[in-house]
Amino acid sequence: MSGTLQISLKINGESRVLHTAAHSSLLNLLRDNGYFDVKCGCEQGDCGACTVLLDGIAVKSCVILAMNCDGHEVRTIKGLGGHDRLTSRLQKAFVEHGAIQCGFCTPGMIIAAGDYLRHDGRADREQIRRAMSGNLCRCTGYQKIIDAVYEVAAELESEVCG
């Protein structure tokens, strides 16, 4: 491909060599290569539907330059569910609490919630609300999402204490 850069990165544990335009976002790189589990809601960093883990940190992939990911590691929801215990627990809590409606924000929400919990997130509703405030959901009013994250956080705390 002309006018493109070649980058090497790990996506969901798999080493990939991909081509990208210099101005292309990580979101576009992922979706162009079939990672449709990463949703595109605004391409302006506002909605959080495209949240992925970059070197273990939750980022909005639409505002990350693809070429800056050369040599880095990306995980999408597909590469977390079933592999990562915390993600699986969050997924279970989301469905049990009715935290899903149209589902478009759900992958990003779960990654953002996992990021909060992985960074010592407490079972504190106010903190969870703040941590999740970068991910928009137009359907649910967030309450059931917060409930689901809170439940997993409380379980984690009791496991550590117990």
Partner 1 sequence: MTVIGTDVARLDGIAKLTGKQQYTGDILIPGMMHAVLLRSPHPHAEIIKIDTSEAEKMGAVCLTYDDILINGQAVVYNERSVSVPAATYRDRTILPNKARHLYEPIAAVAADTEELAYKALQAVKVEYRVLQPVYDPQEAMEEGAPQLYDKVYLGDKEVDICNNIGVSRNISQGDVEAGFARADRIFEQDFELPRIYHAQLETKGCVVAPEPDGGITVWATAQSIHGNRQLLGRALNLPLSKINVKKIAIGGAFGSSIQVNTVTPICAALALKARRPVKLISSREEDFYSHQKYPVRFHVKMGVTNEGMITAAELSALVDFGAHQVQPLPFLGCVAGWFASLYQYGGNIGFHGTAVYTNKTPCCAMQGYGNPQTNFAIESMIDIISGEMGFDAIEFRLKNYRGVGHEFWGQGPTIRTIIKSCGVEESLLKGREIMGWSGRGRHTDKQGRIRHGLGVARGFHTSGTGGPKEGEVIDYSSAFIKINEDGSVDVVTPVMDLGGGTWDAIAKFVSEVLQVPLQRVGLSPTDTKSTAYDVCTHATRGVYCGGGAAYHVALEVRKKLLETAGRLLNEHAENLELVRDDDLGQGVVYVKGLRDNQMTVGEIARQAQINSWGTLQYAGSYRQKNCPPCFTTHFVEVAVDTLTGEITIPKVLIYGDCGTVVNPELFGGQLIGSFGRGMAYTLYENLTMNEEGGFTTKPQAASEPIYTSQPVKDGELLNHGALADYKLPTSSEMPLIENVLVRHTDTYEPTGPFGAKGIAESAIASVQAAIANAIYNAIGIRFYRLPITPEIVLQAIQKKAVK
Min dist CB 76 to partner 1, Å, is 7
Q: Nearest approach, Cβ of 145 to partner 1 (angstroms)?
A: 7
Residue with tokens 């997924």: 91
At closest approach, how far in Å is the CB of 81 from partner 1? 5
Which spans of this chain sit near partner 1 (rule: CB under 8 A)? Answer: 21, 34, 36-47, 49, 76-78, 81-82, 91, 94-98, 100-107, 110, 125-126, 128-130, 132-147
Residues paired with residue 54 on neighbouring β-strands, in sequence order: 57, 74
Cβ–Cβ under 8 Å, residues 8 and 14: no
CA distances from 158 to 115, 123, 144, 153, 161 (A): 19, 10, 21, 9, 5
Nearest distance, CB of residue 17 and partner 1, angstroms: 20
Closer residue to partner 1, CB minimum distance, 71 or 82: 82
Q: Which is nearer to partner 1, 71 or 83 (CB)?
A: 83
Q: What are the distances in angstroms from CA 138 to CA 42, 105, 116, 142?
A: 13, 9, 21, 9
